[in-house]
Amino acid sequence: MVNPGDNEAANSEATTVDKHASSAGASNEAEEVDTDDQGRALLLNDAAPSNDERRPGDIELAEVARVPDVQVAGGPNGDLEAGAGGVDAAKRKGSPIRADGATKAKKKSETSADDEERGLQFAGLTKDELEQFAKDPFWHRLRLILFVLFWAVWLAMFAAVIIIIVLSPRCPPRPTRQFWQSPFYRVEVRSFAPDPAAPAVPSRSGSLAGLAGKVDYIRYLGINNFLLGSLVKRESSGCPLDFAAIDTSLGSLDQIRALTKRGRKKGFQLMMELDVSQADPAWKLPGAEGGSEEAFLPDSTKFYRMLSRDGQPAWSGGLLHTPQSACNSLNTSSARVRRALFDAMSAWLDAGLSGFSLTNAAFLMPKKTNMGKDNIPPAGSPAPSDWYRTDPAAWLNSPDGANFVRSARAFIDAEADRRGRELALFVDLGDVAYPIRFANLSAATFGAHAVVHTGLGRPLLPATPAPDGGLRAAVDAALAAAGTGSSGSFAWASNWPYLRRDSSPALAVLGLTLPGLGMVYYGQELGMSHVAAYRLSANLTSYLTGADSTDPASSPMQWTGSVANAGWLPDPADNLSWAGDLSVRASDIRSANLRKLNASGYSDSNLKLIKQLVGMATSLESLQWGAAAALPNLPADPELVGFTRKAYRFPAVLVLINNGDQVYTVDPSDSAGGSSGQLKLLYSWGSASHSYSVGSQYKFSHLYVPSRTALVFVVDG
């Protein structure tokens, strides 16, 4: 029998044991948790590679996201439960990490349980359910409609593209243009610029080195083609001695090569004038022994008292001498002479030149110069005293001379093909000292790319007969000669070595807007004017004397207003010995020099106007290849000129020039290439600047044309 006290003691002891057991269990469970944590730590340390073993892409342990610490508490049944972070979180924190940094995936059941607890469980459609939707009529129709709609839109867009291409206007045709169809700057090398490295002495003259230093100035004008005066070696008489040799006082072939090489890089071309009408009496055909009778023209009409261009007898010593009496006329009909001349031209092309302008082409004499009974003066009649009074047109521009030019053109074309670059051949009739007849000047007659035309300028001789009809007659004849086509075969020169310098921009406007290409003579852009009394030193450029001398057109380029040397020497008081007496040009040097015109306050200077004209001539399609037509119904004034240029599907250009003293109002609405709309002023010179503003719009009808003015409009509409 059990004592109740013993039961109470036993119960108390059992309770104590249970409490100890409970405490021991809790302690053991805690120890297990600690043991698990230590195991996971060891596992993490073992799994983590050392710094030496770590590969790209491995994850540093420090980079693993931290998980809240596990808080353990007893459950109502004495079991352990996870607190704030949960046991699962503790397990996630201690989950093994692979060496490549990826974490071990959860079990699917655990993920589902978590999703159910958060209410975010997602279940996709089964295959059977998807098949039911695919066979549903609504979705079937929707897919069919979208399919048909896509292809219908695609085909409609494709058809629209085809219709736009077919119906849209084609791009305006642009003819292939070569370098020589743009404006040229004609340079007299000796008179243009000195070598900056040469000693500053009175004899300092122009050279190729000086030209090389001024190339950027010429290109500033917008001109990328240079026509150089002849560089051929000459005797003291002025006659060519070796057509393949350079005048060493002007430079060397190496300087030509350097300049042309620079041109190929920078985009400019160089051509040179070449006189093949005459040669020094000492010139011999290559390989010829003794004399060169075949090289020169014999006297076949001794009884014909013809004059050379310098007023001396054209026949002496059994040979013909023209245009210069000290030189012998070349027999360009001879195959051997042609071969020698072409070999010399080839040597210059080897140096990099892009072509030639054959000067004195009018003096290429035929082999037989007997012009018939009508050209023989009566017996006993005095010899003519003036060149132009002999009417030299009877034997100038001979068919034999034209045949030589054609053969030279064939040679140039063959060389262009062989060398793989563009070459050009121009023809300059030369100083015939009387108004040029347009009928003798077509490029087709001579076979050249272009003919230099000086009919717009004024001859040196004041007594030379002037063409009737004034400026309008000259322009009308030029338009008729150039034709209504767009090609244009003339190189227009209003200032030239054998013309008077004319500072009027009106002539420059014509030269750069008529069909063909414009020639700007050095100093023309400054407005350098003609001074008849000026003379250079002997035997430099002109073989003519008196009023016939070409020296006034070969005066030094006026870089500054220094009267003594025009800026050629550092000391403005030093004189240029080769340039003669520049004091006779004092007024012109002071007013027309580059330093002054470049200064501020000269916005309407010749320099700016020429630059604007060149810019228009090289950018407006109608001025490049557009057909020309004279304006009808202009007032009857020989100094009032008007014409249009129109290229197919490009805006027309209207040119109006009033070189007289009267004021007019004209209506060009019936012209301008049949266009309508408004006129936009591109250029104005003279008193028109007070009535017009460049860039403004004006109506076609009733255009006011002041005296001494030039206007250039583009049809905007």
Average pLDDT of the segment spanning 691-709: 84
How far apart CA 191 and CA 207 sit, in angstroms, is 8
Exposure class string for 68-102: b at 16+ Cβ within 10 A, else e: eebeeeeeeeeebeeeeeeeebbbbbbbebeeebe
Res. 106 pLDDT band, cuts 50 70 90: very low
The pLDDT value recorded for residue 204 is: 86
Average pLDDT of the segment spanning 461-469: 57
pTM above 0.95, yes or no: no
Average pLDDT of the segment spanning 575-603: 88
The pLDDT value recorded for residue 66 is: 43
The pLDDT value recorded for residue 32 is: 43
Select the more confidently predicted residue: 192 or 475.
Answer: 192
Q: What structural domains and CATH numbers belong to the chain?
A: 627-716 (2.60.40.1180)
Single out the residue of 386, 520, 362 nearest to residue 464, CA to CA: 386
Single out the residue of 476, 425, 374 nearest to residue 180, CA to CA: 425
Q: Measured between alpha carbons, how far apart are the two ends of the chain, in Å?
A: 136
Q: Where are the beta strands (DSSP E) in 476-579?
A: 490-493, 517-521
Select the more confidently predicted residue: 471 or 673.
Answer: 471
Q: What percent of the chain has pLDDT over 90?
A: 39
Highest mean pLDDT among 429-443, 458-472, 624-638: 624-638
Res. 473 pLDDT band, cuts 50 70 90: confident
Inform me whether the pLDDT recorded for 128 exceeds 90: no
The pLDDT value recorded for residue 321 is: 87
How far apart CA 173 and CA 66 sit, in angstroms, is 75
Single out the residue of 309, 300, 424, 432 nearest to residue 361, CA to CA: 432
Give the length of the chain.
717
Inform me whether the pLDDT recorded for 19 exceeds 60: no
Give the alpha-carbon dihedral of 585, 435, 181, 620, to 10 degrees: 80
Distance of CA 316 to the CA centre of its chain: 51
The pLDDT value recorded for residue 250 is: 93
DSSP reduced 3-state for 210: helix
Q: What percent of the chain has pLDDT over 70?
A: 71
> Residue 573 is which amino acid?
A
How far apart CA 391 and CA 306 sit, in angstroms, is 10
Give me the residue label for tokens 């996971």: 40
The pLDDT value recorded for residue 567 is: 93
